[in-house]
Amino acid sequence: MSHSSQAVQIRQHGGPEELQLVDVSVGEPGPGQIRIRHHAIGLNFIDVYQRSGLYPQNLPVQLGMEAAGVVEAVGEGVTHLQVGDRAAYASNPPGSYCERRVMPAMCVCKLPDAISFETGAAMMLKGLTAQYLLKKTLPQGGLQPDDFVLFHAAAGGVGLIASQWAKALGLQLIGTAGSAEKCALALANGATHAINYAAEDFVARVKQITGGAGVKVVYDSVGKDTFEKSLDCLRPFGLLASFGNASGPVPPFAPGVLGAKGSLYLTRATLFTHIATRESTQAMADDLFAVVASGQVKIHIGQRYPLAQVQQAHRDLEARKTTGCTILTL
């Protein structure tokens, strides 16, 4: 039996105008799959990378990496979900920009009753990213209370979650953002310091804040525009964790630079390596659910767009007009 669904597809890589709303037919789940009807859908920079071709896709493709809704059908072998369960996910392959879909069940988690569908859709990819960064992507010796960390784009979806979570862990998070208003938002959400990189040199300010020592780790989703200066913010043996390309991909560089700047470490981390198994996905999600349910981390939904306005949502995201999380509504 097939079910109708509206979905957003691209037939070629390009700008937001390539996002087209179409009618599709959705069938029954196979082994290891579920069918889910969405209540809300998350918007992320990875969607922009896939649309533009920075992360090439086999075309045509339905975009979107996270959502929340109700399980409509369960395929053979799926034991952690049942029909009627409230659920949320961040998952490959893309395809969440739709009313309903059939998808792998592995990365879909039951959504606690205390967390709304909108919050669930907004927090999975960004919250699980903050989780693996602060808990798993660590410098030599780990992080202890009162350690300084630098987090770029601190007023974005991942940044606001990470700022609050870092405060709960006792860390001193130095956040960067592109305006005074965004800096104020980062400070209101747990950042110890905020630097407007449009108005001041963030390297000099980081050195001032840390008494010249630098930070143990920089979490950088900006990419090309901040990469070299991020290295200059690190103390010896520090770690640069690159996890995004909002300003474009980092160009090739000589590894000897890392030695000259203090025997530094560099990693290019991705969420999907961390959620490659059902067990790891659930453990990370349980950690996220607990910190959100406790109130230590609040999920800020700064923008809501109807699914039919997905082109405008992408334009605003790329123009840095958004704060916190953005969702598409049905």
pLDDT digits (tens, 9 = 90+) for 99-127: 999 999 999 999 999 999 999 999 999 99
Helix, strand, coil shares, percent, the chain, to 5: 30, 30, 40
pLDDT of residue 2: 86
Q: Where are the beta strands (DSSP E) in the chain?
A: 3-10, 20-26, 33-43, 61-62, 66-74, 86-90, 100-104, 108-110, 148-151, 172-177, 193-196, 215-220, 234-242, 265-268, 301-306, 325-329
Q: Where are the beta strands (DSSP E) in 84-214?
A: 86-90, 100-104, 108-110, 148-151, 172-177, 193-196
High-pLDDT (> 90) share of the chain, %: 95
Looking at domain 3-126+280-329, its CATH superfamily turns out to be: Medium-chain alcohol dehydrogenases, catalytic domain (3.90.180.10)
- The CA radius of gyration of the chain, in Å to the nearest whole number, is 20
Residues forming a β-bridge with 148:
172
Let me know if domain 138-268 sits in CATH 3.40.50.720. yes
Amino acid at 137: T
User: What residues does CATH 3.40.50.720 cover in the chain?
Assistant: 138-268
Please give the C-alpha separations between residue 151 and each of 94, 110, 164, 298, in angstroms, as whole numbers.
27, 30, 12, 18
pTM over 0.85? The answer is yes
Q: Report the alpha-carbon distance of residue 236 to residue 138 in Å, rounded.
A: 14
Q: Is 329 helix (H, G, I), strand (E, B) or coil?
A: strand
Res 263 pLDDT > 90? yes
Q: Report the alpha-carbon distance of residue 219 to residue 137 in Å, rounded.
A: 9
Res 249 pLDDT > 90? no
pLDDT of residue 323: 85
Cis amide linkage into residue 60, ω under 30° from 0: yes
The pLDDT tens digits of the residues spanning 53-97 come to: 989 999 999 999 999 999 999 999 999 999 999 999 999 999 999
Ramachandran quadrant class, 124 (left: phi over 0; alpha: psi -120 to 50; beta: rest):
alpha
Residues 6 or more apart in contact with residue 239 via CB below 8 angstroms: 137, 138, 139, 140, 216, 217, 218, 264, 265, 266, 267
Q: Where are the beta strands (DSSP E) in 82-180?
A: 86-90, 100-104, 108-110, 148-151, 172-177
The pLDDT tens digits of the residues spanning 189-217 come to: 999 999 999 999 999 999 999 999 999 99
Over residues 284-307, mean pLDDT: 96
pLDDT of residue 40: 98
Q: Report the alpha-carbon distance of residue 169 to residue 189 in Å, rounded.
A: 14
Res 232 pLDDT > 90? yes
Over residues 240-256, mean pLDDT: 92
Name the average pLDDT for the chain: 96
Q: Report the alpha-carbon distance of residue 292 to residue 116 in Å, rounded.
A: 11
High-pLDDT (> 70) share of the chain, %: 100
Minimal CA–CA distance to 134: which of 26, 242, 196, 217?
217
User: What residues does CATH 3.90.180.10 cover in the chain?
Assistant: 3-126+280-329
pLDDT of residue 139: 98
pLDDT of residue 320: 84
Over residues 31-43, mean pLDDT: 98
Minimal CA–CA distance to 69: which of 51, 95, 31, 30?
95
In the chain, the N- to C-terminal Cα span, in Å, equals 23
Burial class (CB in 10 A: 0-12, 13-18, 19+), 23: exposed
Q: Report the alpha-carbon distance of residue 122 to residue 313 in Å, rounded.
A: 14
